[in-house]
Structure 1
């Protein structure tokens, strides 16, 4: 891959990842009607910022001391993760997907990314593997799965946007 192609792929990953994350955030804003509270990315920031001090696991992230800048850190991490997952889509589907986006690989990538909250974030934030320690584990799992499916649709919409541009 030459420098020009790498630049194109990088720009497409930015557009697709940001679009997909925006779609996921729109879902997060609408979902309280059916699924309860919105995600709190400040807690993600708190979790990440505690890592500077060597603390990777928490009993309950909400009970851990607040960190300066946690809300901003959480939102930045959220969008950087979305961009990273767009790159993961290119790994699965190839960069040729950008020229002719289809929903299948995008949805599959979105669903696969649920591994991150199930096996990394939720355990690290004190909710156990796949939210096993959450007050309503099945509901938390379902919310994560639906949200990552919505993210997958956002990847597809981002792909359509980049193909159009």
Structure 2
């Protein structure tokens, strides 16, 4: 069990790093805005008071270290997802990793963003209150596919 958890932490870390590298590529090649984890940090900060949903996270009380907390939360969630996948798939998957389970899991994790975090930030369900919700959804799908590639690729490297 401990070995599975450690492997899960490693694949979650590798996947989150690859997702962040993907965001850098999108910024440099396609001029997509850089990732800003400060709003997520503010959201994480307000979770301690059980305040999940905001009309606008920008209007919520700021927190001095929200950018750092946002990055820490981003990585904590990535590690948690890696551990969950490891526990679901078990040691046999690590002996011979395959992409499809990682990809399905990566796509399923979009749900947490669409139905918890984005509404929590005041962006609506599945980014429905953003100026271009379908673009956001497509970018979420691509990012979580890259995350899945990171889960799979890291599992291959550590087998």
Return the TM-score normalized by structure 1.
0.89
Q: CA deviation at 1:57?
A: 1.5
The alpha-carbon distance between structure 1 residues 15 and 133, as it changes in their structure 2 partners (threshold 3 A), is same
1:42 is the counterpart of 2:22: no
- CA apart distance, 1:106: 1.1
Matches of residues 15-164 of structure 1 in structure 2 within 5 Å? Answer: 15-32=10-27, 33-34=29-30, 36-163=32-159
Moved more, 64-73 or 15-24: 64-73
After superposition, the C-alpha distances for 1:21-48 in whole angstroms (9 at most, x for unaligned) are 0000000111123372122111111001
Structure 1 window deviating more from structure 2 (78-87 vs 113-122): it is: 78-87
Shift of 1:99: 1.4
Q: What is the SS of the residue equivalent to 1:14? A: helix
Could you tell me whether the CA contact under 8 Å between 2:8 and 2:82 is conserved in 1?
yes
* Distance of aligned partners of 1:35 and 1:148 in 2 relative to their CA distance in 1, 3 Å threshold: farther
Q: Which runs of 5+ in 1 are unaligned?
A: 1-5
Cα deviation, residue 87, structure 1: 2.1
